[in-house]
Amino acid sequence: MAPLPLPLPPPSEKRPPRSLFELPSDFFDSSVLLRAHPSTAPSAVEPSEPSRPPPTQQQHQQLSEAAGSRWTCNTCASEFESLQEQREHFKSDLHRLNVKLSMAGKTIIKEEDLDKADSDSLFDDLEISSVSGSEDEQENGPASERVLSVKGKEEFRKKLYFRCASGEMISIYRCMLLKEHEEPLIDCKSGQMENASCVQEEEMINRVKCLACEPRDTSHLRIVLLTSGGHFAGCVFDGNSIIAHKTFHRYVVRAKAGKRQSGKDATGKVAHSAGSSLRRYNEAALKKEVQELIVSWKSYFETCVCAFIYAPSRNRQMLFDGEKTQSVIQSCDVRPVPLTVHRPTMKEAKRVYCNLTQLYYEMECSTTDETLPDAGSVKNVEQGQGKKNEVTADPGESISDLSARLELLNKNEAATIPSSKNETTPLHEAAKCGNAQLTLELLEQGLDPCVKDARGKTSYSLASDKEVRNTFRRFMALNLDKWDWHAADVPSALTKEMEESQAAKQADKDAKRKARAKELKKLKKEREKEEKEKEKEKAKAQASQSQSDVKGTSSGQMANRTATAPGLVPKHQTPQQILIAKEEERQRKQAEEREKRAAAAERRLAALAVQSAGTSASGAAATNCSAKRAAPDDNSCSCCFGSLVGKVPFHRYNYKYCSTTCMHLHSEMLQDD
């Protein structure tokens, strides 16, 4: 016999999570394991709004008289007989599912196909989370009282949900209680019982009770190992305290490359740079360090309850590629981390462990019959209205009829679609995806563009495509009084005349830009042509000047060659020979200039030396010089008549000098004579 459902607590704010190791020992007494249906709606839990009173028969008659006889849904390709039936369709699972299918670019499904197919397999095949609860919830009787509304199918699979004695619903990550191959018996299907080991509800309650009563004597340790991108972080926890920890970091991934060096080498393109060699060495060193650490923690692995490991892709080789490390790690229960892990650091390892060991207080939606739609009353209303003859009409008439009915309905305040101020509508999704056609269809169906999502943004604010924004503006131009466009953040209407004017301005602007680009291209070609002509003229002038210089410097040599060899004709010189001749002429002139400057300096020094000598001595020296100038000695200086014995003399013509000073003085004396 199923246990009686416990009373639900009044809706309140969500309580902060608590650590599992700080709970009282009797916290899980009288707790009940809950089951969530895989196709529950991933909607936020909020207090239900009071329902509006249904429209009266007189209002129904006014609506039917003021509108046409054809109501359609462009997304589902369906037709309806009344506005009420169309509105019920807009709230149905089929319509919302088809909206998601059309936004994903997939084929919509019909109502009969939805009834025949299994809901769970349908959602798994389409890779789309369910949009609402199934119809079986209303027919399962007492079992439906334990069906929860959680944050989605994937989120449910990560946690286990309990109803505690106080009536509150709590959740725990299932990796804290179950091994990787275990499943709760309450969630096991008939085909899964053979493949997975199912755990009874009593066993689950006993495990969670033992979890809250664990002794803190290092006999119930838990290890967290995180490794990715050259980073490694390992921690050993005993409850909420850290027993041991270690982190490593090595440069193994090239900046902006996104892959380790071993992964790149596996593709066949082996790099031989210094950086690649360093990354290979660091990868091997990091692997060695991690494996040595795991072996040193062997005592911790033998006494730990489980080890939470995050090692994506090839990083698992770092932990399991080795007999010693593999035997050490597999000595305990290895479980994956069901959380998003950032860069492995000490802080990240503590965050992951803290989140895994938290007890979360969940909020749920009431699934009683009062909140479910009364299908019988809807059917009675549809049967009472009866069928009407279908009248073929063009799309323009259907849109106008829809607008008229919506306006009349707003005036009578009898709208049955609840308008939440903080919810994401299909119009938000279509605008965000940039689907202009679907956005127009949803606007034509009557979706409110003034509705804001949880972040306070309208569908127009989420539109990143210009065509989608123009769709809102065009619809505003055709329906100015339908919505509060200022509240919808639509800046202005876009009429056909405005679009034509903008197109003409854009065409004029494009034509001017092309003409300007063409003119700039022409000017650039002319400028390049002028520069080439100037370069050619400059080269010709340089060549002619070099030829004239060569002719002037070699005229004497050519005359001598002609005199000695009259039959010899000079050959034409190449540009390279001309350049060589110019370089030689420049060097010769520089040498002559250096000699002149040196001679001037020596003359100044000699003049200073002469001035320092006495007047009488200078006269005697001059007399002696003039007397001996006629017959100088071979071993004496021709200027000062000093002895040249043991010296290397300087020669000038037939004279010998002891120094360059004497040589220049003697030359000046000869010039004066």
Catalytic residues: 261
Residues 335 and 239 in one domain: yes
Residue in 102, 75, 103 with CA at minimum distance from that of residue 89:
75
DSSP SS3 for 72:
strand
Same domain, 181 and 224: no
Assess whether pLDDT exceeds 90 at residue 631. Answer: no
Report pLDDT for 8: 44
Burial of residue 172, with CB atoms counted within 10 A of its CB: 0-12 exposed, 13-18 middle, 19 or more buried: buried
Is the domain of 224 the same as that of 188? no
pLDDT of amino acid 114: 61
Between 72 and 156, whose confidence is greater? 72
Q: Is 402 left (phi over 0), alpha (psi -120 to 50) or beta?
A: alpha
pLDDT in the model for residue 354: 94
Q: What is the pLDDT of residue 608?
A: 75
24 and 156 in a single domain? The answer is yes
Name which of 124-138, 292-306, 598-612 the model is least confident about.
Answer: 124-138
- Which residues lie across from 184 on neighbouring strands? 199
Q: Positive or negative CA dihedral for 318, 324, 326, 331?
A: negative
Q: Where is the domain boundary, 293, 327, 356?
A: 356
Q: Check whether 378 has a pLDDT greater than 60.
A: no
Task: Report the range of poorest mean pLDDT among 26-40, 359-373, 383-397.
Answer: 383-397
Q: Which residue has the tokens 């299918």?
A: 101
Q: What tens digit of pLDDT does each residue of 354-366 get? A: 999 998 888 765 4
Quote the pLDDT of residue 116.
Answer: 52
Least confident of 27-41, 327-341, 591-605: 27-41
Would the pLDDT of 24 be above 60?
yes
How buried is residue 538: exposed, middle or buried, by Cβ count under 10 Å (0-12/13-18/19+)? exposed
Residue 134 lies in a domain: yes
**Cα separation, 43 vs 152, whole angstroms:** 8
- Give the whole-angstrom CA distance, residue 343 versus residue 231: 7
H/E run at residue 305:
strand 304-310
Q: Kindly state the average pLDDT of the residues 381-390.
A: 40
pLDDT at 670: 83
Residue 237 pLDDT level (bands cut at 50, 70, 90): very high
Residue 517 lies in a domain: no
Token pair listed for 505 = 């301005």
Q: Are residues 35 and 127 in the same domain?
A: yes
198 shares its domain with 238: no
pLDDT at 144: 35
- Lowest average pLDDT, out of 34-43, 81-90, 276-285, goes to 34-43
Predicted confidence (pLDDT) at residue 372 exceeds the cutoff of 50: no
Q: Is 213 helix (H, G, I), strand (E, B) or coil?
A: coil
Range from 265-274, 338-347, 443-452 carrying the lowest mean pLDDT: 265-274
Angle subtended by helix axes 555-564 and 496-553, to nearest 10? 50
Q: Which two three-digit tokens encode residue 27?
A: 């916290």
226: left (phi over 0), alpha (psi -120 to 50) or beta: beta
406-425 confidence digits (pLDDT tens): 454 444 443 334 444 557 88
Q: Does residue 342 have a pLDDT over 70?
A: yes
Which one-letter DSSP state was computed for residue 159?
E
Give the position of tokens 């002619």: 544
Residues 234 and 156 in one domain: no
The answer to whether residues 161 and 281 belong to one domain is: no
Distance CA 325, CA 318 (A): 9
pLDDT at 395: 42
Q: pLDDT tens for residues 324-339?
A: 888 888 888 899 998 8
On whether the CB atoms of residues 164 and 28 are closer than 8 A, the answer is yes
Give a yes or no: residue 101 inside a domain. Answer: yes
With respect to residue 497, please indicate whether it lies within any of the assigned structural domains: no
The predicted pLDDT at position 100 comes to 82
190 with 166, same domain?
yes
Question: Contact at 8 Å (CB) between 409 and 63?
Answer: yes
The domain total for the chain is 3
Q: What is the pLDDT of residues 212-222, one digit of tens each?
A: 888 888 888 99
8 Å CB contact between 290 and 248: yes
Write the pLDDT tens digit of every residue in 553-597: 555 555 545 444 444 444 566 888 888 888 889 888 888 888 888
Q: Are 292 and 327 in contact (CB under 8 A)?
A: no
What is residue 308's predicted lDDT score, i.e. its pLDDT? Answer: 94
For residue 335, the domain's CATH number is: 3.30.420.60
235 has pLDDT over 90: yes
Confidence band of 112 (pLDDT split at 50, 70, 90): low
**C-beta neighbour count of 208 within 10 angstroms:** 22
- Report the chain's mean pLDDT, rounded to a whole number: 74
Same domain assignment for residues 196 and 247: no
Task: Quote the domain boundaries for residue 246.
Answer: 217-257+273-356
Torsional class of 434: left (φ above 0), alpha (ψ -120 to 50), beta (otherwise): left
Boundary (domain end) residue, out of 202, 234, 249: 202
**What is the predicted pLDDT for the residue at 155?**
65
132 occurs within a structural domain:
yes
Q: Is 137 helix (H, G, I), strand (E, B) or coil?
A: helix
Instruction: For residue 308, give the nearest of 507, 476, 173 by alpha carbon.
Output: 173
Q: Is residue 197 part of a domain?
A: yes
Q: In this structure, are residues 386 and 85 in contact, taking their beta carbons and an 8 Å threshold?
A: no
- Give the burial string for 123-156 (b: 16+ CB within 10 Å, else e): beeeeebbbbbbeebeeeeeebbbbbbbbbbeeb
Q: Is 364 inside a domain boundary? A: no
Exposure string over 271-282, b if 16+ CB within 10 A, otherwise e: eeeeeeeebbeb
Mean pLDDT in residue range 463-487? 88
pLDDT number for residue 321: 82
Say if 627 falls within a structural domain.
Answer: yes
Q: Which two tokens stand for residue 425?
A: 């509508």
Assess whether 346 and 283 both reside in one domain.
yes
DSSP character string of 320-383: HSSHHHHHHHTTSEEEE--S---S--HHHHHHHHHHHTEEEEE-----STTTS--HHHHHHHHH
pLDDT of residue 148: 42
pLDDT in tens, 492-509: 888 888 888 888 888 989
CA distance 127 to 135: 20
Span 161-205, pLDDT tens digits = 888 888 888 888 988 888 888 887 776 765 555 555 787 888 888
Question: Which percentage of the chain shows pLDDT scores above 70?
Answer: 68
Give the sign of the dihedral formed by CA 40, CA 43, CA 46, CA 48: negative
Contacts of 652 (CB under 8 A, 6+ apart): 663, 666, 667
Last-in-domain residue among 341, 356, 371: 356
| φ, ψ for residue 242, nearest 5 deg | -100, 125
Residue 625 confidence (pLDDT): 45
Same-domain status, 631 and 666:
yes
Decide which of 301 and 102 is more confident.
Answer: 301
Total-model pTM: 0.42
In the structure, what pLDDT confidence band is assigned to residue 154 with cuts at 50, 70 and 90?
Answer: low
